[in-house]
Amino acid sequence: MKRTVVIVLFEGVDLLDVTGPPEVFALLRRELGPDDTSGYDVVLAAETPDPVTTSAGVRLLPDATFEEAAARPIDTLLVPGSVEVDAHGRVHALTDPAVVARVRTLAARSRRVTSVCVGAHLLAAAGLLDGKRATTHWSTARQLATEHPEVEVDADPIFIRQGDVWTGAGISACLDLSLALVADDHGETTALRVARQLVMYLKRPSGQSQFSVPLEPVSTTRRIEDLRLHIMDNITRPLTVPDLATHAHVGERQLTRIFKTELGMTPSAYVESVRVERARNQLESTDATLERIATTCGFGTTDTLIRAFRRKLDTTPTEYRQRFRT
């Protein structure tokens, strides 16, 4: 029998979060053939039968109301998300209490609960991620961890499975998550055929950290902003903890506390993140040699550059350039 997948709709929902998974399931149907009775029956559910306007301005027509969807057994509940962006370009995940209540009710009727992108915030608000490890879009991971300390937030994986609760990373990762569901239900060989139709990896070679921007402003503290600018302007210098502490006119221990509080990492880890980010940009947009990039980004040697890439991105500079060269 077909598995019923209920996708939650609400005003302002991210369009790809809603439409991406059904495309994967439709390609599965093509691979299984017209006589196969398995696969997925996708149901778009909303508060009312009226069209729902997505964040992209595209209107979607629900197949059922939440009450109608909750009246039947659900194999997979798929919860997308929505965000707002402030005047400074900062992204904030939205959690409407009414939608959270509906998600909680539908989850109780579901064999498996999944979220895509910032939909994890709705699952967390509904109490479905308590005590679990979860992921979300890298830009809202800190918000999720702050608002829900009972959730172990890991911003790097493309998706995380914790029993019958699955969480997916940012935006296009809805395709990766959907492929993982197909692999779980129909086997990896079938999922691989679907992945080939999508012209994508069945499993990406690395996590979403390779797409994030660690230099994004995350603090309003003038002292830490001054330190961040100082680091970027002096990236080729040693930038040791004593050097940074002297620049900030604080002790070394206080400097470490400031970095951990404001940026969630040690000063050394942050400096390495800045250097990796600058190296990524050069790998993507220039023909500079690894030796040149290692020098201009403050790594000193190619070996140090390679070790940093393996540590931060789980890949090498050469592999990164081959995948993301523009």
Q: What are the residue numbers of the active site?
A: 117
CA distance 124 to 283: 37
Q: What is the Rg, in whole angstroms, of the alpha carbon atoms belonging to the chain?
A: 22
Q: In the structure, how many helices (H) and strands (E) does the chain have?
A: 14, 13
* Residue 76 bridge partners (DSSP): 5, 112
CB 313 within 8 A of CB 320: yes
CA distance 260 to 211: 22
Rounded to 5 degrees, φ, ψ at 278 are -65, -40
At residue 92, the 3 state secondary structure works out as strand
CB 172 within 8 A of CB 199: no
CA distance 40 to 26: 8
Using CA atoms, how far residue 61 sits from 15, 18, 43, 64, 178, in Å, is 12, 12, 11, 9, 22
Count CA within 13 A, CB hemisphere, residue 92.
11
